[in-house]
Amino acid sequence: MLDIKTRSPFLFTAILLAIIGMVSLIPLKGILLSLSLSSFQAEYINLSIKMSMLALIGYMLIKKWNLNVIGGLSAIYKWEFKSLNLIPIYLMLLGIVSIISADLTKIELPNIVLLLLSMLAVGFAEEFLFRGVLQALFIKKYISLKSGLFLGTFIPAFAFGLFHLFNLFSDGPITPVIIQVVFATFIGFFFGAILLKTNKMIPLVITHALINFFFSIQFLPNFNSKVTQEPASLSSILICLPLFIIALFILKKTDKTKVQEKLNKSF
C-alpha cells in the first residue's frame, strides 16, 4: 500500500472509490427498517454509520501515512485567512430559503439532530478521504510542475465529483447525477484550495456539513414548504461556478514554497 501511495495515486484513487462503493452497498438500511425505525431514521442512521466508517478509514490513513501537516490536521501551522471559509455561506443561505415559508412546528427535534449528525459524518468522511489523503498524494506527485498546485487540487476534486456517481444506485434520473458530479467537482476544488491556504481541515468539515444540512432540511419528515428544491439542474453548476473561479485565484496566490515545506514535513 505504501508503494501505491507514493508511486501511483491514480491506482490508489481507484481502490479508494471501490472501497467507498463496497461500503455504500452494505445492506444496512434493510436491517434498520426491520427494527421498526421510520424510513427517514433508517436512511440517515445508515448514512451516519457508513460515513463514520469511511471517516475512520480516512483518519487512519492520514495518521498512518503522516499526512497531518499537508492534510490540515497539525498544530504546526496556524489557521490563516479565516474569512475564506465564509465564502460558501451563500450556498447555506440558498438552502435556508426552503425554510422561510415552512411550518416547522411538526418537525421532531430528534430527526433534526439525526440529520445534522449524519451530515457531520459525511463532512468528515469526504474531507478526510479526498482532501486529507488524495489531495496530499496528488500534490506530492505534481508539486514540481508549473501547474502542480492546480493538478494536485483538481484531480482529487474530480474524484470527489465522480464519487457522487454512486447516487445512480438510488434509481433516480441520470442527468441530475451527472450535473451533481460537475458542481461537486467545483466545490471540492474550492475546498482543496482553501485547505492549502488556511492550513486547517476542521473548518472545512464544518462548512461542508452545514451546506449539506441546510440543503437536506427539506427531507425531514413532516416538512412542508411552499418553496421546494428542484433536482440538480444546470443552474446548480452556475451557482457553484464562482467557487471554482475563486479557487483558481486562491491557488495563484498560494505560496508554493510553503506547500513544499508542508510536504517535506509529511512525507
Could you read off the pLDDT of 245-254 as tens digits, one per residue?
A: 999 999 999 9
Q: Compute φ and ψ for 220, nearest 5 degrees.
A: -65, 140
The pLDDT value given to residue 136: 96
The pLDDT value given to residue 99: 76
The pLDDT value given to residue 6: 59
Residues of the chain scoring pLDDT < 50: 1-2
Residue with cell 436512511: 43
Domain ranges in the chain?
2-266
Predicted model pTM: 0.92
- Note every long-range contact of 227-233, with CB atoms under 8 Å and residues 24 or more positions apart, other chains counting: 227/97, 227/98, 227/100, 227/101, 227/102, 228/98, 229/95, 229/98, 231/172, 231/173, 231/176, 232/176, 232/177, 232/179, 232/180, 232/183, 233/176, 233/179
90: its cell numbers: 451563500
For residue range 67-101, list pLDDT tens digits in order. 999 999 999 999 999 999 999 999 998 888 767 77
The pLDDT value given to residue 56: 98
